[in-house]
């Protein structure tokens, strides 16, 4: 996976008071969120009724990134902190580095671009790649695997520090914990109240993204994000295979990616890219307003009003409907309008 500066992990290890850990969990929240606009842009670029399997895979990862963001918020709340979500600098500037400059060493640029094999390999899989990715055989496909260090060390340092600080660190109000089985299974999102529940939750984030050193599966027996994206890249399901040394190979059901059925979205669009008064500008402003309202709602959700999650999910659905119309708008040079994912002031 991608590196973050070693001093970040070292500084976590030197924490002596739980309040000093709050900023790092806020970083974790921002990091988990930062991937969502990247993946959503790829998802929204797929024309409706096409590329259904690729669409399902990307959507499943987006949902789990939302889960991971929720877990990080629950842990921060449990340790007496307060997640900050409704502020302009919560949203990264695309294109650019991920929060904490994750990936700076590999010059990773998190960008809002339509789905393509290149975007999957260079951005999606790079973000999710574990420290030692399991290299499974690929039927009729030759690819070079690049090795990255894992951000799992960042989470491991937080977990170890939580264990060191122990139960007295858990001073947060239990009523601020988000548990909502309508959207997240009880086996994936639970109330964080002590060392055990906190460490278990943070480990889930790592394993859902990277898998384990022995298996591509996460604790829920689903493929980790890296391997799900690899399925789209290689165009084949990763399936058990007794002829493979590691017991798996990419030789299952085909997952075709028909790039003719993907909108050529304007990369890293900003609302101001579109002329004032134009249809594209109107949709860009509307999508920004809905997206910002969503962040405001999530801020309230994780700051004492967990019942607000249903309203936030409604805004997510509203955003999807807006963007589905937006991506059909021709803005010239063969490009279509794209959602900017910018934070703006709202009435909420």
**C-alpha angle 108-112-116 in degrees, rounded to nearest 5:** 85
CA torsion 4-171-297-208 (nearest 10°) is 40
**pLDDT score recorded for residue 153:** 83
**pLDDT score recorded for residue 347:** 79
**pLDDT score recorded for residue 6:** 82
Lowest average pLDDT, out of 6-10, 58-62, 232-236, 329-333, goes to: 6-10
Q: pLDDT digit string (tens) for 90-147?
A: 999 999 888 888 766 667 889 999 999 999 999 999 888 877 778 888 765 434 333 3
Residue-averaged pLDDT of the chain: 91
Q: pLDDT band for 17, please (50, 70, 90 cuts).
A: very high
Q: How many residues make up the chain in this entry? A: 348
Quote the CA–CA distance of 245 and 133 in Å, as a whole number: 15
With a cut of 70, say whether residue 19 has pLDDT above it.
Answer: yes
Quote the CA–CA distance of 308 and 233 in Å, as a whole number: 37
**pLDDT score recorded for residue 108:** 82
76-100 CB burial, b ≥16 within 10 A, e <16: bbbbebebebbeeebbbebeebbbb
Whole-prediction pTM: 0.91
Helices (H), the chain: 6-13, 22-44, 52-78, 117-119, 125-128, 152-165, 195-210, 225-234, 279-301, 309-326
**pLDDT score recorded for residue 134:** 81
* CATH homologous superfamily of 6-262: Ferritin, core subunit, four-helix bundle (1.20.1260.10)
**pLDDT score recorded for residue 145:** 36
Lowest average pLDDT, out of 62-71, 265-274, 288-297, 339-348, goes to: 339-348
Q: Are 121 and 128 spatial neighbours (Cβ–Cβ below 8 Å)? A: no
CA torsion 30-31-36-37 (nearest 10°) is 70
Q: pLDDT band for 43, please (50, 70, 90 cuts).
A: very high
**pLDDT score recorded for residue 144:** 34
With a cut of 60, say whether residue 55 has pLDDT above it.
Answer: yes
Query: How many percent of the chain have pLDDT more than 90?
Result: 77
**pLDDT score recorded for residue 146:** 37
Q: pLDDT digit string (tens) for 335-347?
A: 999 999 999 998 7
**pLDDT score recorded for residue 348:** 65
Domain limits, CATH 1.20.1260.10, in the chain: 6-262
Mean pLDDT of 133-162: 69
């Amino acid at each position: 996976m991608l590196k973050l500066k070693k001093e970040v992990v070292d500084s976590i290890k030197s924490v002596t008071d739980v309040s000093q850990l709050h900023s790092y969990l806020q970083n974790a929240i921002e990091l988990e969120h930062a991937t969502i606009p990247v993946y959503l842009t790829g998802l929204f670029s797929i024309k409706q009724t096409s590329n259904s399997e690729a669409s399902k895979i990307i959507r499943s990862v987006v949902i789990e990134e939302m889960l991971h963001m929720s877990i990080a918020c629950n842990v921060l709340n449990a340790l007496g902190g307060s997640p900050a979500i409704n502020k302009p600098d919560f949203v990264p500037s695309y294109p650019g580095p991920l929060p904490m400059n994750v990936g700076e060493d590999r010059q990773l640029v998190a960008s809002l671009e339509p789905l393509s094999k290149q975007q999957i390999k260079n951005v999606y899989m790079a973000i999710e790649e574990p420290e030692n990715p399991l290299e499974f055989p690929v039927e009729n496909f030759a690819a070079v695997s690049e090795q990255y260090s894992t951000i799992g060390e960042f989470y491991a340092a937080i977990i170890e520090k939580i264990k060191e600080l122990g139960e007295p660190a858990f001073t947060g109000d239990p009523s601020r914990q988000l548990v909502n089985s309508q959207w997240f299974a009880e086996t994936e999102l639970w109330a964080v109240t002590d060392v055990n529940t906190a460490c278990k939750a943070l480990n889930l984030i790592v394993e859902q993204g990277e898998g384990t050193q022995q298996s591509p599966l996460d604790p829920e027996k689903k493929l980790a994000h890296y391997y799900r994206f690899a399925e789209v890249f290689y165009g084949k399901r990763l399936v058990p295979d007794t002829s493979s040394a590691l017991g798996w190979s990419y030789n299952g059901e085909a997952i075709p990616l028909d790039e003719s059925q993907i909108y050529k979205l304007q990369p890293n669009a900003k609302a101001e890219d579109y002329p004032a008064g134009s249809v594209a500008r109107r949709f860009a402003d509307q999508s920004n307003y809905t997206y910002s309202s969503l962040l405001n709602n999530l801020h309230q959700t994780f700051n004492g009003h967990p019942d607000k999650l249903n309203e936030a999910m409604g805004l997510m659905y509203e955003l999807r409907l807006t963007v589905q119309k937006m991506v059909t708008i021709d803005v010239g040079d063969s490009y279509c309008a794209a959602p900017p994912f910018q934070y703006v002031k709202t009435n909420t």
